[in-house]
Structures are given as C-alpha cells and as structure tokens.
Amino acid sequence: MKKFKYLALLVGLVWLATQVAAAGRLIGPQNRERLRENLSTLRLLRMTQVLDLTEDQTAKIYPAVNRIEKEKLQMQKQMGDRIEDLRALLKQESPDQTVLSGKIKTIRDLRAGIKAKDEEIEDCLNANLTVFQRAKYVLFSIDFYRSLGEKIGRSRRLR
C-alpha cells in the first residue's frame, strides 16, 4: 500500500509538470525535452499500474524501456535539428541539391531508427508480458495517447 501511495504521488507530480508545460508556461528546447522525459516516465508508471506488473516484470521492463526511450529521445532531437536545417535550406534561393538529398536521407534514416526503437520496445514487452497483459497494453497505449491528446487540446483551448 505504501508503494502505491509513492507511485501515485510520483505520477501526480509528473502529470502536474506535464500539464504546466503543455499549457505553454514552459517553452524552449530544454523544457520540451524535459516534457518528453516526463511523459515517458508517466507512461511507464501508468503502464505498470494498468497492467498490474509484478516486481519481476517491472525490474525487467522499466530499465529496458527507459533506456530505449532515452535513445529514441536523442534520435528525435537529432531529427528535429535536421528538419530545422532542411527548413533553412529551403528558404535559400537555390539550395544545393546534393545537400538537400543528404538532409532528406538523414531524416529518413532517423525516422527508421525511431521506428526500430519502437519495435525494440514492443519486443521487450512481448518477451515479458502475459498474453492478457499484452492485450491490456494495446488498449492502454490507445487510451493513454488519446487522453493525452484530449488534455493538450483542452489546455490549448484554455489559453
């Protein structure tokens, strides 16, 4: 019971930080990165709760998924930087075609890498969850992101 209270408190704090950032009060690249980290942590904590993971499952899944999410976050940051580079190039009067091709390839490679990381997470979950938990995970993922989208939309409307 004590463990659940601490988990609930941590989830609440992460959620509060996410709401503040989503409301637009914290803006900037560092805060966006922190927001993504907070969302990832919130998702893992909610997943642990919703799927009713055992301590053994949590000990296997949480570090692996956390590591993969951090790697994914780095790739997303790199992709964002390359997209900004591409935007800047396209604003030029006559951008170098070779440079454009290189930027496009880099962005596509990063997108493929992010997809591969998502697959790595799925593989980790499939290896450590029961069939019943995997079914619950499918619904959890859909509901988590739907709920997140609704909350962000509501927050934007309030601004």
* pLDDT tens profile 8-41: 544 554 555 555 555 555 456 667 778 878 888 8
Count of domains in the chain? 1
Which is it for the CA torsion 69, 42, 136, 64, positive or negative?
positive
Q: CA 124 to CA 58: how far, in whole Å?
A: 12
Q: Is the pLDDT of residue 140 over 50?
A: yes
Q: CA 94 to CA 107: how far, in whole Å?
A: 21
Q: CA 10 to CA 13: how far, in whole Å?
A: 5
pLDDT at 16: 52
Determine the structural domain holding residue 148 and report its residue range: 1-51+138-159
98 assigned to some structural domain: no
4 alpha carbon, distance to own chain's centre: 24
79 assigned to some structural domain: no
pLDDT tens by residue, 87-124: 999 999 999 999 999 999 999 999 999 999 999 999 99
pTM score of the predicted model: 0.71
Q: Is the pLDDT of residue 4 over 80?
A: no
124 assigned to some structural domain: no
63 assigned to some structural domain: no
Average pLDDT over residues 138-147: 91
Q: Measure Cα distances from 66 to 39, 112, 120, 124 in Å.
A: 11, 19, 12, 11
pLDDT at 36: 79
